Structure 1
Amino acid sequence: MTLAQARLLAETGDLSAAAELFAAALDEPDPSGRAQAALGLAVVLEELGEHAAARDADWTAIETGDPEYGPRAAYHLAVSCERAGDRPAAEQAWRLVVSSAHPAYLPAACLALAQLADDDGDTETAAGWWQKVIATGDEQHAPVAAHDLAQRLLEQGQTARAQQILAAALRAAPPEGYAYARLAVAMGLTHLEQAIGAFRAAVDATDAPDVAPLAVELLARTLPLRGRDEEAAHIWQRGLADPLLAEQVAARLNRAQSTG
């Protein structure tokens, strides 16, 4: 009864009274009841701004070993530590969530650990966590993981692998909304990188007047779409410096400049 009363008080905004009842319920002999009380206490104390005490309550819930409320408390603890900027404590809590293998919290925990590794520049470890998120098939977190992993693979020149991941994510995602659009844009970028590679190969392969000027223009006009303006300028200059191509390249450059 104490737990029900405490929840009702928390829901109606009487946080101090709720905290008292949750604290009283910590004497519950049943581990599940004690875990529920400790988690409720942690949530209320967090809202009251008593962050250290809230963390202690989370740990009390975690240490009960309850399969439901222990992972919930670890999740709450991780989010609380992240908000406070306590990265080591947040990472420890996220790893506790992962070790619980609770399906409701596992994807978020793996995604958080991927982000932490990525922030450290440890792309290999981050990729492992992103792949774990993707494997869960979670509708909310898997598309985020697929996008972030594909971005890193693209930066490493692994375009085909990035496309495979994005294609699978696009097949699984509803064809509307933010997540789908974000994945679609990322897929477009992979094709853009492939186009840049193909145009560059053509420029490097020949100076034939019926092919090279077009390749120069396509490469030079595509590179800025990826923020590579200096490279684009170099490609134009390279074409203009070739006696066989200069006239056609100049005409294409003038057209490009006139059309913006």
Structure 2
Amino acid sequence: MFYANLCHQKLLNAGYYDEEGQFDVSEEVCIVINNMEYVRRALKPLHNELELEPIVAAIEQAEGDRAADKCRAAFQALLHNADEDVVHKILTIIAGLSEKALGPLIDYLDSNLRTLYESLMKVNFYRTLEAVWRVVLQELMLTARNNLGVRAGGLLPAAVLVAGRAAGVSSTRRTRALSLKSLHSLPYQDLDRLLKLHKADTADLIELYCLHRLDEQQRQIQAATAPFGTLTVRLSYNAAAECLCVDDKIEICKTLIT
């Protein structure tokens, strides 16, 4: 943590986090980020390098199981917290790095949107915005799907910032923004649903799944396709016995189903 804080302070002193002025994305910043990651990885083998288990075994023999468990838990918590802190520092730097790297792109979008706004008929301008918005949503969806299971970093906030510009959202020209109906299109709703599922807790995901199955069952009942509901079972086929097995308990022989 000392090294991570030292790197963070070095960038702070160099003006990396200043709102005003320009801090170019440089090789030095990338080296700092990589070095912090090397430090984080160096934490993983500490458990073995410090020979924790023999120490815990000695404590257990001298002080008992409870003292040994407390010692092991304290050490593991220390490593976990250090890992989390270093990752947080890295993500903080990456967030700023992404925004600064996308600065020229945002300026480019603003400049071109301003030209389109001033040159196109109003209806054609909004058609152009809607087309750009669809492309942006497709790219965001692709990025989200390719990074499922990956801890969120600075890329997504920066991408949302670009998306806002592409949608025509501007503090100086509110009249050139897309309507909420156009913004909240079906692709947008799909992306929003995916991101919410991606960051949801396990308990919430289980609840959402059960509610989805309940809604599906109720729709089938209302449509009279399954008035008594549905039952989901697990099937497997035993080729040697030529049987279908249901949960390894009920067997339907091939002669019965033919």
Instruction: Bin the TM-score by the shorter chain.
Output: under 0.3
Give the TM-score normalised by structure 1: 0.25
Give the TM-score normalised by structure 2: 0.25
More strand by share: 2
Higher relative contact order (CA 8 A, sep 6+): 2
